[in-house]
């Protein structure tokens, strides 16, 4: 309130002499100006409020239409949030506390205002009302926030949590207050070093921000983006922490979906050509560092696949590709990397495999595919595959170079009649093949 703005006082006092003393006391106050409207009963308050606004209510508790502490309760219903200062003839502490509990902002003893006492009580009541309004506004804003907000003490004991916290975690504020968040929502999927770094940061008075996986009350896991800000007192000591939590589970799901779309073939869900070549390049680099290691690559093509599409339709062709993808997934080791390079062309990276290992796997895969059929109304759909295999070498420039070697062996298998496996050798007279008997 501006220092030049009069403080509007509504005085409810049935004793004319006491009312006059209040007016005189306030008139003599230096530095502030008061305008006083005087009525003698509670029943006169409502008409006054309809005619004008007031900043404070000065209330005598002994009125013609009300008596004692009940007067405060009745007045509160009439004036709403307007602060009430009680005028009382009793100076005992017990009664004063009861008056404050009933809704009074302050009280003064009649005939004992002291120097500036009444004005000071009014100023305090207005200040307290302003602070309460401000606090209520802040709490309302925090409650309205979409993100969960938690206030803890320095030991991470929850002192307050908003409604969004309940929606996020499943714990009500009553269940959360007095507990450490770790005892409620810790999924134990973050290691000790994660929390050690977090605490090191915030105890230094710095803000911390990060992502973690937490657990709801019902046991479900969720991704959370957490920001923690230290709160300091006037001396600079940390007293509280404010945590803002955002559920990012849906964002994470979309990110994973986009990552999957970027890295895999949508039909077979095998890795795509780009990822495969990146992994081959990494394996070549590993071979350059460790000369004793070995690795191989199988390049696979479905024989006469165009006939399948032409005879049975593209829908059946897609089922054939999916069935074949499942076969090579099951035939591959955990460390192997199967991929669809495009069309009916597939490849498998075999880390640690020798020529013997690669050709043995190629033959097992060829036989399994030859024994597989897919039911169709026109008859069982059977396919065969041709496989070209090549070793990875530290001398290879990149993944395309290895694919080129395996592709050479693959075309030798096709030229020799298909449904064959061949190994690439720089000397074509030494190329080896395994045929179906």
Q: Quote the tokens at residue 360.
A: 């043995």
Residue 95 reports pLDDT greater than 70: yes
pLDDT at 91: 64
Residue 181 reports pLDDT greater than 90: yes
Instruction: Report whether 65 contacts 42 (CB < 8 A).
Output: yes
Residue 242 reports pLDDT greater than 50: yes
pLDDT bracket for residue 399 (50, 70, 90)? confident
Query: Per DSSP, what are the bridge partners of residue 150?
Result: 161, 243
Burial class (CB in 10 A: 0-12, 13-18, 19+), 385: buried
CA–CA separation, 158 vs 153, rounded Å? Answer: 7
Q: pLDDT for 340-393, tens place per residue?
A: 999 999 999 999 999 999 999 999 999 999 998 888 888 888 999 999 999 998
For the segment 404-429, the average pLDDT, to the nearest whole number, is 90
Return the CA Rg of the chain: 41
Long-range contact pairs involving 323-330 (C-beta distance under 8 Å, separation at least 24): 323/372, 323/374, 324/268, 324/369, 324/383, 324/385, 325/268, 325/269, 325/270, 327/365, 327/368, 327/369, 327/372, 328/270, 328/300, 328/365, 329/270
CA–CA separation, 275 vs 93, rounded Å? Answer: 79
pLDDT at 3: 58
For the segment 267-274, the average pLDDT, to the nearest whole number, is 95
pLDDT at 27: 86
Instruction: Report whether 171 contacts 217 (CB < 8 A).
Output: yes
For the segment 162-182, the average pLDDT, to the nearest whole number, is 95
Q: pLDDT for 291-329, tens place per residue?
A: 889 999 999 999 999 999 998 899 999 999 999 999 999
Alpha carbon of 378 to those of 305, 313, 316, 324, 375: distances in Å? Answer: 16, 11, 11, 20, 8
Q: Quote the tokens at residue 436.
A: 């179906």
pLDDT bracket for residue 114 (50, 70, 90)? low
Tell me the CATH architecture of domain 145-252.
2-Layer Sandwich (3.30)
Q: How far is CA 235 from the centre of its chain?
A: 33
Burial class (CB in 10 A: 0-12, 13-18, 19+), 326: middle
**Mean pLDDT over the full length of the chain:** 90
- 7-142 and 264-435: same fold? no
Instruction: Report whether 391 contacts 295 (CB < 8 A).
Output: yes
CA–CA separation, 390 vs 362, rounded Å? Answer: 11
pLDDT at 433: 44
CA–CA separation, 380 vs 375, rounded Å? Answer: 5
Most confident of 233-237, 286-290, 385-389: 385-389
CATH code, residues 264-435: 3.30.70.270
Most confident of 132-141, 251-260, 424-433: 251-260
pLDDT bracket for residue 99 (50, 70, 90)? confident
CA–CA separation, 353 vs 294, rounded Å? Answer: 6
- Greater pLDDT, 176 or 24: 176
Catalytic sites, residue numbers: 344
For the segment 243-252, the average pLDDT, to the nearest whole number, is 94
pLDDT bracket for residue 143 (50, 70, 90)? confident
Domain ranges of the chain: 7-142, 145-252, 264-435
Neighbours of 134 (CB within 10 A): 10
Most confident of 89-93, 131-135, 295-299: 295-299
The mean-pLDDT minimum among 45-49, 108-112, 208-212 falls in 108-112
For the segment 85-111, the average pLDDT, to the nearest whole number, is 81
Tell me the CATH architecture of domain 7-142.
3-Layer(aba) Sandwich (3.40)
pLDDT at 429: 52
Instruction: Report whether 84 contacts 59 (CB < 8 A).
Output: yes
For the segment 128-139, the average pLDDT, to the nearest whole number, is 82
pLDDT bracket for residue 1 (50, 70, 90)? low
Alpha carbon of 65 to those of 2, 33, 87, 188, 289: distances in Å? Answer: 35, 30, 16, 65, 97
Instruction: Report whether 79 contacts 53 (CB < 8 A).
Output: no
């Amino acid at each position: 309130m501006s220092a030049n703005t009069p403080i509007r006082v509504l005085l409810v006092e049935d004793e004319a002499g006491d009312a006059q003393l209040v007016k005189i006391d306030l008139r003599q106050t230096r530095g502030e100006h008061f305008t006083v409207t005087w009525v003698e009963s509670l029943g006169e308050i409502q008409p006054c409020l309809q005619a004008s606004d007031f900043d404070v209510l000065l209330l005598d508790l002994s009125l013609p239409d009300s008596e004692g502490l009940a007067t405060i309760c009745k007045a509160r219903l009439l004036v709403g949030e307007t602060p009430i200062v009680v005028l009382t003839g009793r100076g005992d502490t017990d009664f004063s506390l009861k008056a404050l509990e009933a809704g009074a902002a302050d009280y003064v003893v009649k005939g004992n205002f002291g120097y500036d006492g009444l004005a000071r009580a009014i100023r305090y009541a207005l200040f307290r009302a302003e602070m309460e309004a401000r606090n209520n506004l802040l709490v309302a804003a925090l409650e309205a926030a979409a993100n969960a907000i938690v206030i803890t003490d320095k030991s991470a004991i929850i002192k307050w949590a908003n409604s969004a916290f309940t929606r996020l975690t499943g714990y009500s504020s009553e269940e959360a207050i007095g507990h450490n968040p770790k005892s409620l929502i810790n999924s134990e999927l973050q290691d000790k070093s994660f929390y050690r770094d977090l605490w090191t940061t915030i105890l230094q008075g710095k803000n911390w921000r990060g992502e973690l996986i937490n657990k709801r009350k019902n046991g479900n896991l969720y991704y959370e983006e957490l920001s923690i800000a230290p709160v300091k007192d006037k001396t600079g000591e940390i007293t509280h922490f404010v945590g803002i939590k955002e559920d990012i589970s849906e964002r994470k799901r979309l990110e994973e979906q986009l990552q999957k779309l970027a890295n895999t073939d949508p039909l077979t869900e095998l890795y795509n050509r780009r990822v495969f070549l990146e992994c081959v390049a990494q394996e070549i680099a590993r071979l350059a560092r460790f000369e004793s290691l070995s690795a191989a690559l199988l390049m696979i093509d479905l024989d006469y696949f165009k006939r399948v599409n032409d005879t049975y339709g593209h829908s059946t062709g897609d089922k054939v590709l999916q069935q074949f993808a499942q076969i090579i997934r099951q035939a591959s080791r955990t460390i192997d990397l199967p991929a669809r390079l495009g069309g009916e062309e597939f490849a498998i990276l075999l880390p640690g495999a020798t020529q013997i290992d690669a050709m043995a796997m190629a033959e097992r895969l060829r036989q399994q595919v030859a024994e597989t059929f897919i039911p169709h109304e026109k008859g069982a759909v059977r396919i065969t595959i041709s496989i070209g295999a090549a070793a990875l070498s530290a001398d290879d420039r990149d993944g395309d170079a290895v694919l080129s070697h395996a592709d050479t062996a693959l075309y030798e298998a096709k030229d020799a009649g298909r449904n064959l496996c061949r190994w690439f050798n720089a000397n074509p007279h030494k190329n080896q093949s395994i045929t179906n008997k």
